[in-house]
Each structure stands twice: as structure tokens, then as C-alpha cells.
Structure 1
Amino acid sequence: MKKLKVISFCLSLFALASCSKKGADNAVVSVPLVQIGKPISNSGPLAAGTYKGTMLANQTYTVTGDITINAGDTLLIQKGVTINMTNGANFIVNGDLISLGTKDAPITITDPSKTKQVGPSTVAGDPAYVGGWGGIYCSNTANLVVIKYTHLDFGGAALKALPFPASAGLAAGNQYILYFENPKGVFIMEDSWMYGSPDDATRFYGGYYNIMRNTMEKCGSVGGDGFNAKGSSVGNMAYNLIIGGATNGTKTASDGTTAGECQFTMYNNTYVNDGYRNTGVYGARSGSVEIENNSRALVYNNLIVDCDFGVRIAGGPAGAKVYLADTTSSSTALIPKTAYGYNYYYVDNAAMAGQIVPTSVAQAVVTHPQATDIPNMAALLGPNYTFGLVYDGSSLVGKNNPMFVNYPLPAANNFWVTQASVDSYNFHLQQGSPAAGKGTTNAALIKPITTGIPVDPTFGSSEITMPGADMGCYQLNGTGNHH
């Protein structure tokens, strides 16, 4: 049981003021800040060592070495905190980490020596792809990580050494920003931002996850995925905006464990310009959604714009680097069977159009064309189409413009290759968008995973947002992604 010290002085003042004014129905009551243990001072740099307690609201901290949270301890970060990470420092989490930013006062963890660049982006000239501070590495004793309204900018410096005896796929030299491997632990990431990484932005190797309403930009230099779930990880990836990722935006693969299958719902995400910095074999990976290696997923209501590949269900023999996703039926799995549909595609050239339903360019795929997708790929390809065959999709170029509030579609001159950040663009849908109301909210098709995911304003998910009728992460009724 955590010992909480609640700062309630402001609340008491407001209560007294309310008592002194009868009939003051519009009195505003301040929400007290949660504090755990003792405050952590920002009077000097935080050197490498063990820490617990609370980083206080609106303060700036400078970190010069790895911050380690011991098993059984908790580090809580209050709203508005800025943490300047230097010397490639990491958070090593063997206990609990709670980062509680708010919409009006987000938390920022960054490398102060780096500055965001707007406009066209290339690996050679953009500091986003280099790695500045390290990452948040969570061992198999990390029970709870909660990240809310938090900017994670310029992470991914290479690990100098293993921070703990890893039970999954961690090695010295890895450049992840978020790593979690406790099969019984909980990882919550909501309403947050990730900007820049040299490799996979995340690696999850077991546990329960709710990944909702986040924005991810410029993740992966010449390869690397966005939200990459492996092992026995289960949960939800929903209402995320992923723009300019090197390879997959969201991915599942049951690698690195014998504890069970990786199972995720992926719904109402918006993928823009993903898949163009991967220097590996073309067609061996996706550019939006990838389901592979004996994992299960439900993939619905996603808006996929100018991505290298559409939703890709990998095939191939067991033992290959990328082998068959689990497409069988199960009466005991959280996801009874991998299924997908009601996904919306817009493309600006024939190469992308020929991969809305991914083909077996480099290896086998088992992605079926869906009549519920926009465009209707089942009708386009016809009843005799066998998954994996090459087809001509050139008639789809420039069709079904989703009508973003502010983003240039059609895009010309390989704009999708180099525009990898949100900048001043606005990916909300306009009223009258052809993507509005085209999703499914049918719980028989798409139902979020709730098993193992606590709902709590501090020690859990704020909410598990249900599927929305509008395609993508922004809903016309104001729900979904809050950025």
C-alpha cells in the first residue's frame, strides 16, 4: 500500500471561501496534487543514483546520470516538470514510475542540447534520428509505469551496459526509449508525445498495456517501429497519431517469450507517411500496421494516408525472421481470432496503391482484401484474387481524400517521404469528410481489452476509450486524441 501525502492546502482555502459565500454555486475547487514520499530537490543536478519520492510541479531538473528506482519504490513526477537529461542518461525502473502531466501543464523529458526542426526531414540532417538522452528501461520487477501528458523528446542514446539482467530482448547498445518486460506488470501511456528516435521507439516484452491518444513523430532513422509489442504483451493501441515513422507504426509479434501470445487491439489510429526510411528489403516489413510471428490482433477504424504498405498480416514458415501471424480460432485467447476491416486508405502514387493490400513482394503475406475497407478492396480485386498476388491499384491514386483540416492532399514531389512531423498541420477531419461515420462501433467485431488494465486517475488508465465511428484518431464529437 503506497503512503500518499496529499497536498490539500489550496482545497481547504477554496472550501472556506465557499462557506463564506452562501449561494456561490460557481465556486471552483482546486484538485490537490498527489505526492508520494519526500520531495526531490532541484537545487543541483541529479547525479547517477537511486531515487524515490516526488519531482515537484513546474520545476526544472537537470539529470547527469542514470536515475534508478529500486524495486518496491516509486518515483512520481507532478505536472509541468521539465527534466533535462544529459550524458545519455536513462531512467532504470525496477519499481514504479508515475508521470502525471496534464493537458494544460504537460511534463517534458528531453535532451536540452537538441532543437526540433520543422519541414522536410532527412536522417543526415535532423537531430531527431540521432538519440540524445537514453530511455525508460523497466525490468521484470517494475510493476507499474504510468505516462500521461508527457513529452519524450530526443531519446534513444545507446545503452552503455545492461541496466539489469534482462529476461527478454535487451542488449547493450540498444536505443529504445520505452522498454518494459514484466509479464505481470502494467504499462499505461496516454495523451503523450514521442519525438525522434534512432530505432524502435518502444519494445514491450510482456504485461498489460493501454496505449491511447498519443502522438508519435520521426521515430526510427533507417529502420525501427513505433509501438512495437512482443512477447506475451496484451492490450490496446488506439487513437494514436503516428507520422513519419521509419517502418511500422504499430506492430505485434510473439517474440522473446514462451509465456503466451502477444495480443492487441489497434483501432482508430491515424498513420501518415510511414515506412519510407527503412533501408531493409522492400516488402519485408510494413509501413503502417504489422501483425506477425504468432501474434493476434484486431485492426479496425484506422486512417492510413500515404503509407508504404497497408495493414499487413505476415505469412511465411516458422523459423523465418518474420513468420506467420496467428490467424486461427481460439476459445481461450483474449482475442478469439485475428480480424481486420473498416480501415480507410488514401494514397498519392501507384506504388502505394499496389500495397493497400500488401503483396508477397519479399515474403509471403496472408492479408485478405476487405469489403468494409475504403476503398472496397474485395470488390476491386474480385473473387478470384489470392492474397499475396501483385495487382494494379493505380485507379485508386488520389481517391477518397479524407479532408484533413490542414494538410496538403494530394501531396506532390515525394512530400510523404520527408514530412515526418506534425508541425503546424492539423489532422482533424473537416465536417463532411468521407471518413466521418465510416468506422464500426460493433462490439461483436472490435472490443478493447480490459483484462489486467486498472482504471484510476493516478495509478492506472484515465479511461479505456471505446472505438469511434469516425476513421482515425480524431473524432468529430471531440473525443479521441486530445492533441
Structure 2
Amino acid sequence: MKNLKIGFYLLMLVALASCSKKDKVVVSKPLYQVGKAVSSSAPLSGSIKGTMIANTTYTISGDVTVNAGDTLLIQQGVNIKISNGANFIVKGILLSIGTKTSPITITDPTKNKTTGASSAATDPAYVGGWGGIYCDVTCPLLVIKWTHLDFGGAGLLAPPFTGPSTGDQYIVYWQNPHGSFIMEDSWIYGSPDDAIRFYGGTVNIMRNTLEKCGGTGGDGFNAKGGTQGNMAYNLIIGGATNGTKSANDPGTQAQQTEIAMFNNTYVNGGFRNTGTYGARSGSIEVENNSRALAYNNLIVDCNFGVRIAGGNNVTAKVYLADTLSHSDGPIKKTAYGYNFYYVDNVATADQIIPTNIAQAVVTHPTNNGIPNMATFLGATYTFGFAYDGTSLVGKNNPMFANYPLPNANFATQASVDGFDFHLKSGSPAIGIGYTGFSPITQTVYGTIPVDPIFGSSGITGPGKDAGCYQSDGTGNQH
């Protein structure tokens, strides 16, 4: 019996040794954590640092501040409920790292999303619930991944530092010229004004979805003050004014705002702006001495197409975009093309190439997009002049997987709801993209960081299809 037992143990040892050599045991990698766990036992306010633990619900009842030199990490699956219009005041580092299967949610729990027709007068999305994420010049890094930012934009009661103003209603305010702001694979639902206001630094804004941004004015992504980087593969529906915008005001910095805007899908933009008609866009705006690239964008039922501002107008406060050639900066010259347009009425058809209504514009018709506006308007057309686009109405349906076109309700449909903006097989938007340029990776401020936690998940280059959803499964993952 003794010999049998010894033999059994020897066989077990051999078996274990064999497993250790041939089989790889997969052990779950622990979630990254910074400092101590943040307690969820009581509502939070005041200074905060450490880690909000995965799949935990936190409540915030007053402004929370991440001090300079400190870091707040929000792990996947965290649900943050904010009351009293409270804000994140970020002087250190904020990392909100959700995942596709376990996103983070930051919301005002007293508000509910609505579907169907939306108006600034009745929809709670445009009122503001919790405040916003306000970043000081001492914030070197803000990373937001797979995070829902719902019902933000309560008016700022008092500026927490120099830069923002009392009454500001942004979801994110960024102003460090030497820092990096990464926002990827995330959602913004509702804002009274600009969803995000940038003043300088390097940015990579990719694969996000924006719904109902701006009440009676305001943009989706509004880059100013020398901001440089990418805005790509975003779905922007029902914005009050521009979906993406570059401008160089206040113009006191040495560097210009330079933004590569490519492979975005813009739907129903520009119909809640109560400002001067023709002084702003409904999809893409390049103004105030900034430079931009605007390629491979899918623009459906938007008030205006790609708009390159071309004149000074004191009332509108919109000034000439930079269309000259340069040797400095990541964008040597403003350029655009290979964009796809669909429109459902004559007024929007007449603004596929924006015309001089409130002020001069310098958007040239191109012969490489759909429709071919250079051919349609002819060799004698002078940019900025009015034209008759009646014959373009209802043409070139992009064939969304699930969204009705034509759509008589385009001006009030401002949310994704149950629709699907992927392209069906056979869509004329497939394969028209221009891939002969590179995204911005290096700016005058430095290199856009790439890291699973402390940077971009990967700076995606241009896609071969128009819009944010690519037929090969890449691009926007929502």
C-alpha cells in the first residue's frame, strides 16, 4: 500500500509538471488603482483623490476638487450621481477609464432621457443638471474613455480659477496649453451650451457620440486658444450649431488652433441656434485664424455644410479662417474634400456649399465629394454666391442601417434613440474616403500620449468610407 501511495504522488507531480510546461494559466489582471479607495458611504464634496472602485455607486453633493499633484481614477462600471449642480474641479489628473462592456456613468439622477422630437423649450437635456468638468492650467492630463456624461451643464456659480466665467454651462472646460486631453468611445447627452470648450493643448477626440448638445446655441466640440489635435469618428446628432469647430480666439497665444476633423457623421445639426442665420454652421466650422482638415465626413440634413469663414463681422464675431500655406504646425494648410452630403429640403441644399448670407465665406466647391459640387456649380461659380440646389434634394441616400430618409422631422430629431447609423452594404458612402493624409500625432506642444490608462487607446488614421462607421467594423464602436 505504501508503494502505491508513493507511486500515486509521483504521478501527480509529473502531471503537474507537465501542465506547467504545456498549459498557460490565464489569471485575471487586477484593475489599475491609484492611491486609496474612495469611500462611497457618504455623499462626496471637497478635495478628492485616489480610486473610485469598479461597479460602485457614488453620490456627489457639492463641488469635488482634484488638487494639483493629485490623481483621481474612476474604474470601469462606476455610477456617479451628482446633485446641486456640483462640478469636478480638476487641478491635478482625472482618469475616467470605462470599458465597452462596463462603461462609467456620470449623471443627474433626477433627469430622464426622452426620445423623438426635441425642443430647447421643453427637453430637460438643455437645462443642465450636474455641472461640468473644469480643468485648470495645472491639470496635465484628462482622460475620458467609455464614459457617459449625461445631463451636465448647470451654470457655474463662481469661477473656481482664472479662465471660466460665472454662468458657464460646459460639460468639459479644458485650458492647459501644455497638457493633453483624451476623450474616446464616450457619450455626451444634453448640454445648454458647448459640450466641450478647449483652450490649448493636445487633444485626441475619437469615436464619441453626442446628442442634444446646445440649447439655443453652442457647439459640440469647440476648439479655441491654440488647441491642436484630432476630432474623428464621432457621431454628432441634433447639435444646436456646429458639430466640430476650430477658432483661434482669444488669439493671445503664439500657436494657432489646428484640428483634423475627419470621418465624422453629422446628422440634423444647426436648427436650434437663435443667433444670426448664416453666421455659424450646422456641421463643421473653421474660423478666426484657425487651420483645419475636413475630410471623409458624412453630413446629413445639416443647416450648412463645411463652412470656411471668410470675412469680418463684428456682430457675429466670426473672422477669417487661415487658408494660407505655412511651414509650422501639424497642419500646413487648411484643406477639405471627399465629404458626403444628403439633404431633405431646398434650404439645406442651398447651403451644402455655404453662401454669403450674414458674412463672406470662402468654402470652395470640390469635385471629389458626393455630390460633386464643383461640376454642379460649374467653372464660373464664385464661392459665396447663392445657387439653386433644388435638384439635390433627396439625392444620394447614404443608406443607414436603420434611420428613415427622407425625414421630414430632421430639425427636431436630436437623439440616436433606437436608430442605427451604420452603412448598409451598397451604400454610396462606402469607399469614397481619402486616406492620403495622416492624423495629428505631434503638435507644437508635444506628442499626443498613447497609453491604455494615461493616454489615447490609439490614434486612428483616416477611413476609406465616409462617416464614423466603417464597413470593415472599425471606427465608432457605439
TM-score (normalizing by structure 1): 0.93
**Would you say 1:411 and 2:413 are equivalent positions?**
no
Instruction: Say if 1:478 and 1:148 are closer, same or farther in 2 by CA, change over 3 A.
Output: same
Q: Aligned residue for 2:123?
A: 126
Flag the 1:275–1:18 CA change in 2: closer, same or farther, 3 A: farther
Say which of 104, 108, 132 aligns to 2:105: 108
Give the distance between the partners of 2:206 and 2:82, measured in 1 at CA. Answer: 25
CA distance in 1, matches of 2:18, 2:294: 52
Output the CA distance in 2 between the equivalents of 1:49 and 1:179.
19
Residue 60 (str. 1) matches residue 57 (str. 2): yes
Aligned-partner SS, 1:351: helix
What residue is the counterpart of 1:304 in the other structure?
299
CA distance 1:45–1:356, change in 2 (3 Å):
same
1:43-74: CA deviation from partner (whole Å, max 9, x where unpaired):
1111x211110000000000000010111110
1:164 aligns with 2:156: no
SS state of the match for residue 361, structure 2?
coil
Q: How does 1:216-365 map to 2 (within 5 A)?
A: 216-259=210-253, 260-317=255-312, 321-365=317-361
Q: Choose which of 366, 373, 377 in structure 2 pairs with 1:370.
A: 366
Measured after TM superposition, the shift of residue 148 of structure 1 is 0.2
What is residue 10 of structure 2 aligned with on the other side? none
Q: Within 2, Cα distance between the matches of 1:351 and 1:228?
A: 25
The SS at the match of 2:459 is coil
Aligned equivalent of 2:179: 185
Q: Distance in 1 between matches of 2:38 and 2:378?
A: 64
Q: 1:139 to 1:19 in 2, by over 3 A?
A: farther
Kindly indicate whether the alpha-carbon contact (under 8 Å) linking 1:318 and 1:324 is maintained by their aligned counterparts in 2. no
User: Per-residue CA shift, 1:122-168, capped at 9, x if unaligned?
Assistant: 122211010000000001001000000000000000000001122xx
> In the superposition, relative to structure 1, how do residues 194 and 19 fare at CA in structure 2: closer, same or farther (>3 Å)?
farther
Quick check: 1:398 aligned with 2:390?
Answer: no
Q: Is 2:366–2:372's contact at 8 Å kept on the other side of the alignment?
A: yes
Q: Secondary structure at the match of 2:460?
A: coil
Which range moved further: 148-157 or 326-335?
326-335
Secondary structure at the counterpart of residue 426 of structure 2:
coil
State which structure, 1 or 2, has the greater radius of gyration over its C-alpha atoms: 2
Q: Which amino acid aligns with 2:107?
A: T
SS in 2 for 1:79: coil
Counterpart check, 1:212 vs 2:183: no
Aligned to 1:453: 448
Q: What do residues 421-465 of structure 1 show as CA deviations (whole Å, max 9, x unaligned)?
A: 00100000001111000101112xx54344420000000000001
Q: 1:172 to 1:385 in 2, by over 3 A?
A: same
Is the partner of 2:410 in helix, strand or coil? helix
Deviation per residue, 1:276-327 (Å, 9 max, x gap): 0001111110000000000000000000000000000001138671010000
Percent identity between matched residues is 67
1:427 aligns with 2:421: yes
Whole-angstrom CA distance in 2 between matches of 1:210 and 1:72: 23
Please give the secondary structure, in 2, of the residue aligned with 1:34. Answer: coil
Name 2:7's counterpart in structure 1.
none
**Could you tell me how far apart the structure 1 residues matched to 2:357 and 2:379 are?**
21
CA distance in 1 between partners of 2:276 and 2:461 (Å): 37
Amino acid of the residue matched to residue 45 of structure 1? P
Q: Tell me, what secondary structure is at the counterpart of 1:330?
A: coil
d(CA) in 2 for partners of 1:441, 1:301: 9
1:477 aligned to which of 456, 469, 472: 472
Q: Helix, strand or coil: the match of 1:299?
A: strand
On the 8 A contact 1:216/1:226 being kept in 2, the answer is yes
Aligned residue for 2:30? 32
| 1:245–1:373 Cα change, 3 Å | same
Residue 4 of structure 2 corresponds to none
Aligned partners of 2:439 and 2:459 also within 8 Å: no
Give the letter for the 1:108 counterpart: T
Measure how far apart 1:22 and its partner are. 6.2
The count of corresponding residues between Structure 1 and Structure 2 is 458
Following superposition, the deviation at residue 119 of structure 1 comes to 1.1
What does 1:146-165 align with in structure 2 at a 5 Å threshold?
146-165=143-162
Distance across 2 between alignment mates of 1:191 and 1:239: 9
Query: Structure 1, residues 346-379: CA drift from partner, whole Å, max 9, x if none?
Result: 0001100000000001111000001111100000
Aligned to 2:40: 42
- 2:391 is paired with a residue whose SS is helix
Task: Note the C-alpha offset of 1:21.
Answer: 6.8
* Cα contact 2:233–2:264 (8 A) shared by 1: yes
Following TM superposition, by how much is the alpha carbon of 1:19 offset from its aligned partner in structure 2, in angstroms?
Answer: 8.7
Q: TM-score, normalised by structure 2?
A: 0.94
Equivalent of residue 375 in structure 2, options 375, 379, 390: 379
- Kindly indicate whether residue 90 of structure 2 is the aligned counterpart of residue 96 of structure 1: no
